[in-house]
Structure 1
């Protein structure tokens, strides 16, 4: 049976898990629709823009065309306040919060736990955001979360809707001309997620004649597009299916609309935990690092976050990993630990 016939068979069953899988897919899709209005707004128009909005860049970030080791293109840590942090601290009353762009649908990273009062946001990224707020404002709960889709992470920073994004965001050369990154806080790599019953074996020739889903603006799509152009990916692989939010790819997979998903292995493992009929296929085929993204000219904020990360790696990172990620990525956190930070950006 070829790939297209296999897709037709799955579609006729309403997804490769029959009625049960279809129900799971619909439930996830419905959950996403119901959850998004809770926080995915531009915020109170009276809030005013977050600190740093509209200022002329005071420093220069390494340009994408001259980038090497993007995870090292960041500023040295410092606990000193500056104009960006001063503006955050100057917010009054209930608005005195750090405004952080996050995900609310990525299981164990940033998701709303329906078993908590108010369906609180929880996960590895959420823990880090609380830690940064505690350092800057002295209160871990002094943070306003704004849910943003994958393809809106950079625009949300540039437009001043958020002070920073903590949302499984890969530090990448082509992003350094738009935003500034902290040092890495997590190591991962791109992997293939597909049904357990699929003949796909990984990022290889088994993807020929298959439809692959990625998130718009993701490093996964960039990698697939480049590899298809240079022949490292079969020319018959269809990479045209892109979605605003990465979790939407899982729904597409459940509905039989695509044959596989390519995304960060750390996210894919969480999605496999949500749906036992899918699994990771093959090893990671890239090495990537998550960083906290901020406005390019927010030098003092970048330095402060890097100082927080120094402390967090020593006290906090492992606890958060154990709580949220060990069940999906394994008890050994070593493969996910970021490297010792280097700070090559000087201005």
Structure 2
């Protein structure tokens, strides 16, 4: 009887403890991100590591480098001060929103276009980069613009989770879209002839063209793709601080310095159009 009584008492105590924890605890994604980051003096960013010019892993020092990474570092200092730290976690077009929703990262700065569909799931800062969708093709390709893709049997390469895939279905509905996991796989598929063109935002494609002289960007831009910093819904104080930081960077010339640093020497890319 004593053992049964003790067991019953223990179970009641454990039940009460679980109720207390479930009532008081909040998931990471529900907590005040700005308050937590100020306490930790660190903002955790989701960035790409396969996208030259925006976020690419440098194998020489195992550091991710690019325009998005530098923007994150500058925004962090504006929000937390000069000693504020920016922590980076690698994401893909497919994984970035789940990682944000799970609280693994505080914000996404990874060539993410602001769209009405995505705004139903996450919050966005104001645009920090105005891209447009283009095409990457081999030198000598007969593909000149998006209308050339609108033929039955034509295969266009894209990346899972990228807005560009849906855009191609609108502008070239007869084309078949083959979706790869990341840009490295998509480029490999293009080189292997598995598609006639790779499509995504022009800044990303120019980065690929710089690394691969046998390919070029064609077709101009047939969409407008404003990039924003994505945050969890309900994180208005954090979003306001990000917007404030971007405005300060534009006002003091930091923003244009980063644009020139990453896009100023890219052949064929008019970086002056991006300056603010």
Query: C-alpha displacement at 1:141, in angstroms?
Result: 6.2
**Residue 107 of structure 1 pairs with residue 83 of structure 2:** no
Cα distance in 2, alignment partners of residues 331 and 223 from structure 1: 22
Aligned match of 2:273 in 335, 340, 347? 335
Matched, 1:85 2:85: no
1:325 aligns with 2:268: no
Q: Secondary structure at the match of 2:206?
A: helix
- Find the aligned partners of 2:173 and 2:108 in 1 and give their Cα distance: 34
2:126 is aligned with 1:189: no
Task: Give 1:333 shift.
Answer: 2.9
Give the conservation status (yes or no) of the 8 Å contact 1:108–1:270. Answer: yes
| Alignment partners' CA distance in 1, 2:88 and 2:82 | 14
Please identify runs of 4+ aligned residues in structure 1 that moved more than 6 A.
none
Q: Distance in 2 between matches of 1:248 and 1:143?
A: 28
C-alpha change, 1:108 and 1:270, in structure 2 (3 Å) is same
Distance 1:206 1:258, change over 3 A: closer
* Distance in 2 (alpha carbons) for counterparts of 1:233 and 1:163: 36
Following the alignment from structure 2 to structure 1, what is the Cα–Cα distance between the partners of residues 46 and 142? Answer: 38
- Written as runs of structure 1 = structure 2, the 5 A alignment for 1:145-184 is 145-184=88-127
Gaps of 5+ in 2: 1-25
**Structure ID, larger Rg:** 2
Higher strand fraction (1 or 2): 2
Distance 2:180 2:163 in 1: 13
Query: 1:248 is matched with which residue?
Result: 185
- For normalisation by structure 1, the TM-score amounts to 0.67
Shift of 1:242: 0.6
8 Å CA contact 1:52–1:298 kept in 2: the answer is: no
Alignment of 1:28-47 (within 5 A): none
| Worse overlay, 295-304 or 248-257 | 248-257
Selected match of 2:162 from 202, 205, 218:
218
Q: Secondary structure at the match of 1:276?
A: coil
* Structure 1: stretches of 5+ with no match in the other structure: 1-49, 56-82, 339-347
C-alpha contact (below 8 Å) 2:79/2:242 kept by paired residues: no
SS for the counterpart of 1:150 is coil
Alignment RMSD (CA, Å): 2.2
